[in-house]
Amino acid sequence: MWISWPDILKADGARTSADRYDRGAVAATLSSGSPPRFAHQSEAELARILDFYRIEWRYEPDTFPLSWNAAGAVVESFSPDFYLPEVDLYLELTTLKQSLVRRKNRKLRWLRQLYPENRVKMFYARDFQALMFKYGRLDFLADVAAMNGNGPLNDALGGED
C-alpha cells in the first residue's frame, strides 16, 4: 500500500526545498534526525510548541494513497503534516480560510475511510489562531494571516489550557 516519495511527488505536485521554514533554535528536541524544513511557518511554529511541551513529533513521516487510476498508479495521496507517536495521532495543519479547505477536508474523509485504524486530526486556521492568541503570539499570527491573505482574528478563539 505504501508508495515512494518520487511517486507521490509526481502525483501530488512536487514541492521544492526553497521557501521552506525551519523552527529556529530550540534548546533540545525529542525528534530524532535532522531538523526538517517546513512547508509553512505555521508548521514550524507548531513544532516549536510541541518541542516546548516535550511532545515527540515526526514531520510528514507517512503518505497515504487515496485514489488510483485504472493502471493501479496512485493519483491522489495525503501526507499529514505531523505524527505524534506518544499519542498515536496524525495532525494536519492548515492556515487556509475555512472556505478554502474543502479539498483537504475531502482528503481527510477519504483517509479516515481507507485507514480507519489511524487517528487524524485537522487543525484549522481558527484552531491555529486560537493557539497563537492563547500564547500571545499575535505578531506571528498577523504575519501568517498576511501571507495567506486572511483577515484579522475571527471569533473562533479558545481559552487557556
Contacts with other proteins, residue ranges (CB under 8 A): 25-28, 48-55, 84, 86-87, 89, 91, 97-99, 121, 123, 127, 130-131, 133-137, 151-161
Quick one: 5 or 52, whose CB is closer to other proteins? 52
Minimum CB separation of residue 136 from other proteins in Å reads 4
Burial environment of residue 115 by CB neighbours within 10 A (0 to 12, 13 to 18, 19 or more): middle
Minimum CB separation of residue 137 from other proteins in Å reads 5
Rounded Cα gap, residues 161 and 158, in angstroms: 9
Quick one: 25 or 70, whose CB is closer to other proteins? 25
Minimum CB separation of residue 40 from other proteins in Å reads 18
Quick one: 20 or 48, whose CB is closer to other proteins? 48
Quick one: 6 or 159, whose CB is closer to other proteins? 159
Lookup result for grid cell 509553512: 40
Give me the DSSP letters along 46-100.
HHHHHHHTT---EES---EEEEE-TTS-EEEEE--SEEETTTTEEEEE--S-GGG
Minimum CB separation of residue 142 from other proteins in Å reads 11
Minimum CB separation of residue 11 from other proteins in Å reads 29
For residue 149, how many other CB atoms are within 10 A of its CB? 9
Quick one: 13 or 159, whose CB is closer to other proteins? 159
Rounded Cα gap, residues 47 and 29, in angstroms: 10
